[in-house]
Amino acid sequence: MVGLVVVCHSRPLARAAVALAAEMTRGRPVAVEIAAGLDDETFGTDAVAISEAIAAADSGDGVVVLLDLGSAVLSAELALEMVDEPGRVVLSAGPLVEGLVAAAVAAASGADRHEVAAEAGNGLAGKQSHLGAPVAEPDEAGRAPDSTATITIRNAHGLHARPAARLVTEVRAFDARVELRNATTGSAWVPASSLTRVATLGALRGHDLDVRAEGREAEKAVEHLVALAAQSFGEAEEPDDVPEGGAASPGVGIGPALRIRDVPIELPDVPSQGPATEWRRLEQAIGTTRQEIGRLHSPVFDAHLLLLEDDDLITDVRGRIDQDETAARAWHGATARVAAQFDELADPYLRGRAADVRAVAQQVLRALLDLPAPAPDGDGVLIAADLTPAEAAALDPGRIAGVVLASGSPTSHAAILTRTRGIPAVVGAGPRVLEIAAGTLVAMDGGTGEVVADPSEQVLASFRSRADQQGVRRNEALARAPETAVTSQGIRIEVGANVGSVEDARAAAANGADLAGLVRTEFLFLDRTEAPGVDEQVAVYRRIAEALGGRRITLRTLDAGSDKPLPYLPPPTEANPFLGVRGLRHSLAHPAMFAEQLRAIVRVARETPVSVMFPMVTTVDELRAARAMLAEAGEAPGLRVGMMVEVPAAALRAAEFVPYVDFFSIGTNDLTQYTLAAERGNAALLSLTTGLDPAVARLIDEVGRAAGERVLVAVCGELAGDEAVVPRLLAAGVRELSVAPGLVPLVKQAVRAV
Ligand code: PEP
Ligand code: MG
């Protein structure tokens, strides 16, 4: 007679299941062994105990093993390696209780081990047909799937892009072919490994999805899916109102909602250069897009990344390229098909996901056709998931009344760019803002983080009056902007601008900046195929100084690294790029490029007032090494040398750096991120990364104390532009503030009020 083994996490459960099965065999004896729990109370499974149970149950006709979940399966597989005759043992994919009952009945009736295993595997059939749940259907090849289940969607917006992305990503990790269908609507089966196909299920809250799987890990995959669905695919319940976001760039913006990336692209009418060439070009464009998206570190784009690897989409594109379409036409055709599938869905939220598909489709097309970043078409309030630096830089302040981003934080690079361009912005407003349809009137306040779609007359009037008051304040500040800022106690404070281009330098001058307190030189190094030479750098730095009318410019040496990678010096893969080879560490690791930049800086410093500073300094040794290289680059009499203080270690040991610098410039964006262990771009950590944290204030005090009389203390992080924080910074001994160009007049007023 075939023996049975029950493997499960709980010993009492196994005993009870065996007792139940014994009831069904009506007293006929069956050899059942238990390998369950670590003792009577502790959950667990043990491979040695399982192998011993198998040996005890095997009387020569073989053994069928019934299992519960997870490690039970792994332990049983391991046990098979320990038994003498593994060929006589069948691990059943059937359900533990129903399978055991069916197997016991079959074994008691003298069935062989294959028949017993088949009975166990079919253990759920009776209950399923009784309750109307799907009975495992044979697939096209006539085989029954290895595992099935039904899950219910609990997410408020159904299985929309993010939960669908999570489902697809996690299912792919299993060695199994998993399919889904919407049992509520009676849809066709679709592969769970394809985001686009999963989205076409139109699965709304409360819908039931049938799951079936085949393959070695079919059961595990299905179990995992069931657990994921029970946790709403990791998605917290969202409030019904459009949430407030982070105040990122002050000012009120009112206008119709605009969406970027919907601008149509004209496809060139050229013949295919052959499938191999076209395919290679497409792969490159997809790679570039993946890099651009990755650089944003924004979970909002996870679905976009997944789309770039979607089997269904890529197979379609490949087929089109093989039929002599160009890469651009093939990509456009295949993505348009997918977007059209979304358009047909009944639920407006899921239908809205077509915009995601079109956005990423456009991004790849632009990379493929070498087109510039898109600018939104029209005037109004731009709503987007996030912006690439190139997109943010392309915004026209004359046309864009405001920017509302689902993702990001006030110190994210997109936020800094909106502030630099003087465009009101709210960031980290959450994915609900992406539901605002293009053309809907939007009122937003970048000073408070409020966003109202389709405001009532009353709300609109209040935003308008706020905008008017701000306009009056701004005009007063602008009128006094060219004057120096002096506190009521007669302390003169330099108010400079942070610039990342010649155009920013012009805006700085127009807003009365006393200097450029931070020139982010990386703008010259990113998004190109090789580093700029000395002459090119000299020309650009000179133009920045000229745009500022010869006022002092503070050139920060290249702050590249893993979060701002250079295409021509790809960084090694780093698990924590913000803790990696960035800033000065990166420059010291690439001395030839660093030496060229220092030579360019020294040359410009011989013509015009220049300060140079090093980013991300952590130790005195690093600073000494940088100074030694600067000395080798040559002499320039008026050149002032400083360092950024943005690593807590440097702030705490500021006194040790004093002998080597003329000034400290505190980078509060990074100093906050490193002090609070809170990534600066992470929208979920806004409460940690917004404002002056007391711990950061103490570090700034420490720098102020250590600097003494000789060394100037500046702040160039975004906090310097926060009018409410200015008095606290001055109290710590800060004597220079460097802010987004558009904020200079208001910050000067704030200084005067101290
Ligand atoms: C800072 O970290 O505060 C800073 C000014 O540098 P960046 O924002 O360029 O990293
Ligand atoms: Mg920094």
| Domains of the chain, each with CATH number or no CATH | 3-123 (3.40.50.510), 147-234 (3.30.1340.10), 246-260+375-473 (3.50.30.10), 263-369 (1.10.274.10), 481-752 (3.20.20.60)
- Reported as a single tens digit per residue, the pLDDT across 321-336 is 999 999 999 999 999 9
The residue-averaged pLDDT of 474-488 equals: 95
**Dihedral angle over CA of 521, 527, 529, 531, nearest 10:** 0
Return the residue whose CA atom lies nearest to atom 3 of ligand 1.
667
Atom of ligand 1 nearest to the CA of 717: 3
Mean pLDDT of 498-520: 95
Q: Is residue 239 exposed (0-12), middle (13-18) or buried (19+ Cβ within 10 Å)? A: exposed
The pLDDT tens digits for 227-276 are: 999 888 877 654 444 456 788 898 999 999 998 755 678 899 999 999 99
pLDDT at 507: 93
Whether residue 141 is predicted with pLDDT greater than 80 in this model: the reply is: no
Is the pLDDT higher at 574 or at 314?
Answer: 314
Distance 178 CA to ligand 1 centre (A): 46
Between 336 and 140, the higher pLDDT residue: 336
Q: What pLDDT sits at residue 254?
A: 95
Mean pLDDT over each residue of the chain, to the nearest integer: 88
The pLDDT value given to residue 132: 55
Model-level pTM greater than 0.75? no
If DSSP codes are grouped into helix, strand and coil, which group holds residue 252?
strand
For the cut 60, the answer to whether the pLDDT of residue 396 exceeds it is yes
Tell me the residues surrounding ligand 2 (ion) with CB < 5 Å.
Answer: 646, 667, 670
Q: How far apart are CA 561 and CA 185, in angstroms?
A: 50
Spatial neighbors of 574 by CB under 8 A, at least 6 apart, are 562, 580, 581
Tens-place pLDDT, residues 409-419: 777 777 888 88
What pLDDT digit, counting tens, does each position of 38-80 carry? 888 888 889 999 999 999 999 999 999 999 987 788 889 888 8
High-pLDDT (> 90) share of the chain, %: 56
Q: Is 413 marked active-site?
A: yes
Residue 646 in contact with ligand 1 by CB distance below 6 A: yes
How would you class 29 by CB atoms within 10 Å of its CB: exposed for 0-12, middle for 13-18, buried for 19 or more? exposed
* Res. 174: pLDDT tops 70: yes
Percent pLDDT > 70 in the chain is: 92
CA–CA gap between residue 307 and residue 168 (Å, rounded): 11
Which pLDDT value is given to residue 584?
Answer: 97
Mean pLDDT of the region 729-737 = 97
Pick the ligand that lies closest to the CA of residue 563.
1
**715 touches ligand 1 (CB under 6 Å):** no
CB-neighbour burial class of residue 426 (10 A; exposed 0-12, middle 13-18, buried 19+) = buried
- In order, the DSSP letters of 564-598 are B-BTTBPPPP-SSGGGSS-HHHHHHHSHHHHHHHH
Residue 668 Cβ contacting ligand 1 at under 6 Å: yes
Local confidence band at 389 (pLDDT 50, 70, 90 cut-offs) = low
| Catalytic pick among 224, 297, 332, 413 | 413
Residue 563 beta carbon below 6 angstroms from any ligand 1 atom: no
Active site residue 716: yes
Ligand 1 and 520: CB distance under 6 A: yes
Check: CB of residue 31 under 8 Å from CB of residue 89: no
Measure 560 CA to ligand 1 centroid, in angstroms: 12
Q: Which pLDDT value is given to residue 694?
A: 95
- The two structure tokens encoding residue 207: 């819908």
CA 375 to the chain's CA centroid: 23
Task: Please report which confidence band the pLDDT of residue 135 belongs to, taking 50, 70 and 90 as the band edges.
Answer: very low
Least confident range from 204-213, 262-271, 401-410, 646-655: namely 262-271
| E strand spans, 170-243 | 177-182, 190-191, 208-214
Q: Please report the pLDDT score of residue 351 as a whole number.
A: 67
CA of 518 to the centre of ligand 1 (A): 9
**Which residue has a Cα nearest atom 9 of ligand 1?**
520
Ligand 1 site-directed mutation target among 564, 646, 725, most atoms within 8 Å of CB: 646
User: Which atom of ligand 1 has the smallest separation from the CA of 666?
Assistant: 3
Give nearest CA residue, ligand 1 atom 6: 667
Nearest CA residue ID for atom 1, ligand 1: 667
- C-alpha dist (Å) from residue 92 to 65, 123, 296, 349, 500: 6, 10, 46, 42, 64
Please tell me which residue, 687 or 317, carries the higher pLDDT value: 317
